Amino acid sequence: SNLVAVGVFALWLLLATPSESRLTINFYAATCPNASAVVASAIRRALRSDPRIGASLIRLHFHDCFVQGCDASILLDGSATIASEKNAGPNANSTRGFDVVDGIKSALEGSCPGIVSCADILALAAQASVSL
């Protein structure tokens, strides 16, 4: 009975927590109008060579956003002085799709330099992976 009450309270806290999303379908319509098309094209190419890459990109987005919000920290490489999420124990050798995200970033930098954030690229890639 106490366990149920704690579970209900935890669920209530989860659902009652306010959230705000700033990325919308047309967020880049004025600043990088072809962003979604560039991402979708890259995902289509990646899916032709690896049908599982869509699920991997969704997982990358989930792992990036799960703990401290969507900040693209999962994409950062580690160094001698910095331990990265990319190579952290739970993610090491289990996350995939970094090369696809890097390709999307390069393509977007070619057409809209400095506009689309890495966190948004992960979100757009996950969205395209679901819709394709």
- For residue 57, the domain's CATH number is 1.10.520.10
Give the chain's domain count.
1
Residue range 27-72, pLDDT digits in tens:
899 999 999 999 999 999 999 999 999 999 999 998 888 877 888 9
Q: Is residue 12 situated within a structural domain?
A: no
Out of 59, 61, 63, 105, the active site residue is 63
Q: Has residue 17 been placed in a domain?
A: no
In a domain, 53, yes or no: yes
- C-alpha–C-alpha distance, residues 39 and 107, integer Å: 9
Please tell me the predicted confidence (pLDDT) of residue 55.
94
pLDDT in tens, 75-100: 888 888 887 877 777 766 778 899 99
Helix (H, G, I), strand (E, B) or coil at 58: helix
Cβ neighbours for 28, distance < 8 A, ≥ 6 positions apart: 35, 36, 112, 115, 116, 120
Examine residue 9 and state whether it is found in any structural domain, yes or no. Answer: no
Nearest partner of 60 among 49, 48, 46, judged by Cα: 46
User: What is the C-alpha to C-alpha distance for residues 33 and 10, in angstroms, rounded to an integer?
Assistant: 41
Q: Would residue 18 count as lying in a domain?
A: no
Residue 1 lies in a domain: no
Q: Which residues are annotated as a binding site for Ca(2+)?
A: 64, 67, 69, 71, 73, 85
Known active-site residue 61: no
Give the domain range for residue 121: 23-131
pLDDT recorded at residue 22: 67
